[in-house]
Amino acid sequence: MKRNTLIGSGAALAAVAAAAVVAVPVTAGATSAHGAKATAKHITVADDYFSKSNLKIKKGGAVNFVWSPQNFESHNVTLVKGPKGVKHGQFTSVTGSTGIRFKRTFKKPGVYHFICTIHPGTMILTLTVSK
Amino acid sequence: MARIARRCTPVVACALLACAAGPITAAQAAKHKAKSQTLVVCKHGCRYSTIQQAVNHSGRKATIDVRPGKYVEGVFVKGHRHDGLHIIGIGKKPSAVVIEGRHAHGPEGAAQNGIEGDNVNNLDLENMKAEHFASNGFFINGCKGYEMKDLIVGFNHSYGMYVFKCVGGRMTQSVGYGNGDSAFYVGGTPFQKHPIQTTLDHLRGYENVLGYSGTNSKYVVIRDSEFYNNGAGIVPNTLQSEPWQPASSGLIEHNLVYWNNFDYYRPGSPVRTVSSGVGSKQANYPIGAGVMLFGTTDWTVKDNSIFGNFLWGAAAFSDPTNPTQKAVNDGNRFIDNKMGGVFNDANGADFYNDGSGRGTCFEGNSAGSTFDHSNTEPDSQLYASCPNSFGTGTTAADSSQFGKLAAIVLSNPPTDQEKIWHVHAHPPRKGRTPFEG
């Protein structure tokens, strides 16, 4: 059972505040498909949301998913729909609460739809990779 | 090379014997081999020194015997090629085989679970202990059937024993303590036309945030178990964040549910709380409650012994903030329970009902049971006998009752919840000591 949501506004405030605390916008660099140093975008995986629901990056860019240390529930990042030819398993993380860092580089342009399979109602991310 | 030859020789011999005995198909041979496969794990002198190595070499219906020792690893069992796998500690007691989470690493950071089954049917886990994991002690994600037996789970970050998206299964004869959410958790259960029951029995959960929790769980029977010294004892619940709302069609019977007054909000608590996040207006779990039905439909709480919980013995309420409006206190029944007075160990109030939903009822509970009264609605409606058609019919609660609940979950600091507890000394129980944090 996650944090109680009896009081919607309170829970929403908490969620916003939590996102503000844990979501660092940009972190480590990543190597692009062409060998150039690219900036990895940072997504926090928290109870029960991704810190962003939409994200745009350029081809060769990377996304670094980092599980919040404040989590008490298990989450994963699972690719449910992506560009043709992309292997979903390569863009699917393990399931867990804390201490996970999952970084992937996106070489193929298109739209990637991610969810947490345990919390598909609230943990949804659409990633658009442009050419 | 010699080692390889030694390994191959029995295989060749077996093949020759099979030929001599008569025709046997490749499928039959494979089936026979799988049935008889036993792999042994030990720290020194066995073919496998980690459980993961043995899992990697196991097939369907294999048995992995784990000899006593401490195994610092997170074991991952993936896919139906492991259906029917039985992993058993072969020590004299569960604590002889320890799967340790401290300093255990996985492919993407910290090892998350002692043993995780991912889309494996009929995985059996037996006679082991898992502790200090970043997520859970034992976790099965997606299955038809499982058995978790004679397990100990302690001080795992989230849950001790956790299943999600499973049809049927059993947790039995196990103990959980110090877990950051619940000791035992049955998560989202798919709707079933012909339901297969999940059984939890002969469990003991103490000094956890929750003894049992289950979001959107269904067809669950929790019986003959003991939940004490938790923040709250048994808490099935409905949340929109997870699939298959609501939590429905469950039975809680013949359990001992007492002294669930663990205030893990206190500074220095040995168990970290789920409510340690930021935000001054966050809603916190109620503490001091035996059974809480949070947004459940058609759950029956029957013939339990519920006493010494300083807030409520048993409670039922909706979640009006759930945007799907599926977390409704509908058709829950509290029947034939023995409450605090029977044990000379009162609950704050034996029963609390928020007056939402429809038809939640109370019947045959011990004489002298106490009720958390509303200022606006008579007990004859709020705590009506079965069956009845009282209630708002929606997630909206009786205003007086909702006010109480809101005050509890918004207590700031959350330790202020203790201010409305009915604190008293408990009669002694052999082998048990009250623990409040």
Any idea which residue has 């058709």 for tokens? B331
Touching check for B412 and chain A: CB below 8 Å?
Answer: no
Distance CA B352, CA B299 (A): 15
pLDDT of A22 over the 80 cut: no
Query: What local confidence, expressed as pLDDT, does residue A21 receive?
Result: 33
Beta strands in B145-197, from DSSP E residues, in sequence order: 146-154, 161-167, 169-177, 182-186
Query: What local confidence, expressed as pLDDT, does residue B13 receive?
Result: 38
Distance CA A105, CA A64 (A): 9
Best mutation target, A13, A72, A80, A123, to test chain B (most B CBs within 10 A): A72
> Which residues of chain A are at the B interface, by a Cβ-Cβ cutoff of 8 Å?
1-11, 13-15, 17-18, 21, 47-48, 67, 70, 72-74, 93-102, 118-123
Q: How many helices (H) and strands (E) does chain A have?
A: 1, 9
Checking DSSP bridges between strand B169-177 and strand B198-206, what pairing results, if any? Answer: parallel
Task: Return phi, psi of residue B407, to 5°.
Answer: -65, -35
CB A29 within 8 A of CB A39: yes
CB B187 within 8 A of CB B164: yes
Please give the full DSSP string across B18-38, using - where no structure is assigned.
Answer: HHHH----HHHHHHHHHHH-E
Touching check for B52 and chain A: CB below 8 Å?
Answer: no
> Which residues, 6 or more positions from A12, have their beta carbon under 8 angstroms from its beta carbon?
none
Touching check for B322 and chain A: CB below 8 Å?
Answer: yes
**CA-wise closest residue to B132 among B114, B108, B151, B150:** B114
Angle in degrees, CA A33, A34, A38, rounded to 5: 75
Q: Which residues of B touch A44 (CB under 8 A)?
A: none
Checking DSSP bridges between strand B349-353 and strand B312-317, what pairing results, if any? Answer: parallel
Query: What local confidence, expressed as pLDDT, does residue B42 receive?
Result: 98
Any idea which residue has 């449910």 for tokens? A80
Which of B276, B278, B320 is opposite residue A17, by nearest beta carbon? Answer: B278
Distance CA B273, CA A71 (A): 10
Touching check for B298 and chain A: CB below 8 Å?
Answer: no
Tens digits of residue pLDDT in A58-116:
999 999 999 999 898 899 999 999 999 999 999 999 999 999 999 999 999 999 999 99
Query: What local confidence, expressed as pLDDT, does residue B6 receive?
Result: 37
- Residue B36 burial (C-beta neighbours within 10 Å; 0-12, 13-18, 19+): exposed
Distance CA B252, CA B256 (A): 10
What SS3 state is found at A42?
Answer: strand
Which of B180, B242, B409 is opposite residue A121, by nearest beta carbon? Answer: B242
Distance CA B213, CA B227 (A): 12
> Which residues, 6 or more positions from B43, have their beta carbon under 8 angstroms from its beta carbon?
B49, B67, B69, B70, B71
pLDDT of A25 over the 50 cut: no
| Confidence band of A9 (pLDDT split at 50, 70, 90) | very low
Q: Which residues of B touch A3 (CB under 8 A)?
A: 274-275, 277, 282-285
Instruction: List the pLDDT tens digit at each of the 437 positions of chain B.
Output: 333 333 333 433 333 333 333 344 555 545 545 455 999 999 999 999 999 999 999 999 999 999 999 999 999 999 999 999 999 999 999 999 999 999 999 888 899 999 999 999 999 999 999 999 999 999 999 999 999 999 999 999 999 999 999 999 999 999 999 999 999 999 999 999 999 999 999 999 999 999 999 999 999 999 999 999 999 999 999 999 899 999 999 999 999 999 999 999 998 898 876 554 333 346 888 999 999 999 999 999 999 999 999 999 999 999 999 999 999 999 999 999 999 999 999 999 999 999 999 999 999 999 999 999 999 999 999 999 999 999 999 999 999 999 999 999 999 899 999 999 999 999 999 999 999 98
Which tokens in the block code for residue B347?
């609950």
What SS3 state is found at B13?
Answer: helix
**CA-wise closest residue to A98 among A65, A123, A53:** A65
ipTM, interface predicted TM-score of the complex? 0.77
H or E element, residue B305:
strand B305-307
Task: Return phi, psi of residue B335, to 5°.
Answer: -130, 135
CB B251 within 8 A of CB B291: no
CB B333 within 8 A of CB B302: yes
Query: What local confidence, expressed as pLDDT, does residue B106 receive?
Result: 86
Q: Which residues of A touch B216 (CB under 8 A)?
A: none
Distance CA B64, CA B58 (A): 8
H or E element, residue B54:
helix B51-56
